[in-house]
Structure 1
């Protein structure tokens, strides 16, 4: 049985202009120890999908799913109290911007120990010892002295490491990392990614990595789910998606990143023209059709899920041989 099983997840948000269909029909599964990367440009619904799993959506958002199961627990049917018992304990989240996720009024030590003392019967001393151990594990020097500091006294890289340590306090089964390397310089990004990968292997956790950086995905993910305008357009193993990208959007994303040894210095990178369509009101057909060079009239109708290979599929009416570049 999969640790996390998501089937036909939809998220609608009422707005003054009408109902916003932010996420529509998203399905994926994740086993213990696996890493799933959800990729796509800003506004594609990646973060809302992860917040739906945590039941942390905005108050007006409407979440529906045929199945939303974590280790046999029906997340769609759990009470607020049951979700509070799961969050921070068995499911943890590393938020996108640690400066706004960490409370500026509380010390690092207070924020690290809060979840452990909430979910485990441990003393304050035991909780602080655990916090020091994990701060050291994530590469923070003089860890004990950091407990008395406030978030504004730490650099961006150190704050991100604190967020990772916070997520590990109760040794969760699943960690959701929402753009964990955003706003960090390239050197720190590489350190954070290596740290996440090493810790995942050490603790045997499942990891959902939300990102728009395909270079990150290639280094750490086992499976990839490419998301556009609230829908999954291509899913598969990292090897399959990178080795044989089939949906026109996936190929557009891959053309936008340089390839070592193939992209010459100064050579212009690929772009995807146009804009993401509005998701308010009636939404039908392929949302990418207004930006796709291969679009035909039938793209405005129902879009099937096409199996490309075992565990690799795309949502497109084109034959795989036509969708892929010749």
Structure 2
């Protein structure tokens, strides 16, 4: 049994111009101790997908799926009280923007201690000790003094680390991390990633990691899901997908990255022309067709699902040989 199973997740949001089909038929699984990285351009539906895993979709959004199970439990049937039981305890999330995710009216200590005391039979002294421990683990010095500060007194990078510490207070079974290291310098970024790897090993934590950084994906992920215009267009073990990218979008993303020893200094990097299409109104065919070098007339009306291996799938009328993968 998978730790997390998502099947045919759809998120529609009404807009003045029509219905926005923001997430369209997304499916994936996460096992215990496994990292799934979701990559793609801004606006492709990564954050909305991650928010749905914790029942935090926008109020006006219509969310449907064939299955959403966490450790065998159907989380689509959870009441708000049921979600509150899970959030912060067995499922935690690191939000993308710490400025708007930390309550400015409370000290850092209050925010961290509340999470621990809500889900553990512990008093404030034990909660404070745990808060100091987690702040130190994410690289914050003078942790005990920081507990008395308010979010506005910290830099963006420190607020990001507080968010990470808060998400890890109860050693969750599943961590959903939405661009968790964006505001951090490289050294702290590596420290955080090593901490997450240690937790995966020690407690079998599953991790859904949303990022733009394909370099992090290559070093950190077990599986990767490449998302475009609300759909996962390619997914599989990271070694297979990076060795043989089979969707033109995946291929184009990898062409944008310089490769040490292969990309000569001064060589122009790859670029993907055009813009992400509007997802308002009916959607047909391949959404990448207007930006793809290999598009064909039939791409307007249809696409097909193909498999490079039992675990490596992609959606395209073209084969990897046709796109030069």
Structure 1: gaps (5+ residues)? none
- 1:197 maps to 197
- 1:256 maps to 256
Distance (Å, rounded) in 2 between the aligned partners of 1:98 and 1:194: 21
Distance (Å, rounded) in 2 between the aligned partners of 1:314 and 1:124: 50
Distance (Å, rounded) in 1 between the aligned partners of 2:15 and 2:188: 39
Bigger shift: 31-40 or 142-151?
142-151
Distance (Å, rounded) in 2 between the aligned partners of 1:62 and 1:323: 36
Residues 176, 208 of structure 1: 8 Å contact kept: yes
- 1:310 maps to 310
Secondary structure of 1:76's partner?
Answer: helix
Distance (Å, rounded) in 2 between the aligned partners of 1:51 and 1:83: 12
- 2:33 maps to 33
Distance (Å, rounded) in 2 between the aligned partners of 1:190 and 1:266: 28
How far has the Cα of 1:261 moved from its partner?
1.2
How far has the Cα of 1:200 moved from its partner?
2.9
Secondary structure of 1:6's partner?
Answer: strand
Tell me the alpha carbon deviations over residues 113-149 of structure 1, each in whole angstroms, 9 at most, x when there is no partner.
Answer: 1111112221111111111111122222221111111
Secondary structure of 2:132's partner?
Answer: helix
How far has the Cα of 1:169 moved from its partner?
1.1
How far has the Cα of 1:153 moved from its partner?
2.2
- 2:180 maps to 180
Distance (Å, rounded) in 2 between the aligned partners of 1:171 and 1:183: 23
Distance (Å, rounded) in 2 between the aligned partners of 1:150 and 1:265: 45
- 1:87 maps to 87
Secondary structure of 1:54's partner?
Answer: coil
Distance (Å, rounded) in 2 between the aligned partners of 1:228 and 1:90: 29
Distance 1:155 1:202, change over 3 A: farther
- 1:229 maps to 229
Residues 245, 320 of structure 2: 8 Å contact kept: no
Secondary structure of 1:322's partner?
Answer: coil
Residues 224, 237 of structure 2: 8 Å contact kept: yes
Residues 157, 183 of structure 2: 8 Å contact kept: no
Tell me the alpha carbon deviations over residues 72-123 of structure 1, each in whole angstroms, 9 at most, x when there is no partner.
Answer: 1111111111011111111000011212211122111000011111122211
The residue correspondences of 1:28-107 to structure 2 (distance < 5 A) are: 28-107=28-107
Distance 1:199 1:84, change over 3 A: same
How far has the Cα of 1:301 moved from its partner?
2.2
Tell me the alpha carbon deviations over residues 149-198 of structure 1, each in whole angstroms, 9 at most, x when there is no partner.
Answer: 11222233322221111111111100001001223334433333333323
Secondary structure of 1:314's partner?
Answer: strand
Instruction: Give the RMSD, CA atoms, in angstroms.
Output: 1.3
Residues 90, 172 of structure 1: 8 Å contact kept: yes
Distance (Å, rounded) in 2 between the aligned partners of 1:158 and 1:203: 26
- 2:137 maps to 137
- Tell me the matched-pair count: 325
- 2:246 maps to 246
How far has the Cα of 1:253 moved from its partner?
0.4
- 2:125 maps to 125
Distance (Å, rounded) in 1 between the aligned partners of 2:243 and 2:132: 42
The residue correspondences of 1:258-297 to structure 2 (distance < 5 A) are: 258-297=258-297
Distance (Å, rounded) in 2 between the aligned partners of 1:169 and 1:185: 23
Residues 236, 312 of structure 2: 8 Å contact kept: yes
How far has the Cα of 1:267 moved from its partner?
1.6
Tell me the alpha carbon deviations over residues 202-244 of structure 1, each in whole angstroms, 9 at most, x when there is no partner.
Answer: 3321011001111111111000000000000000101001111
Structure 2: gaps (5+ residues)? none
- 1:154 maps to 154
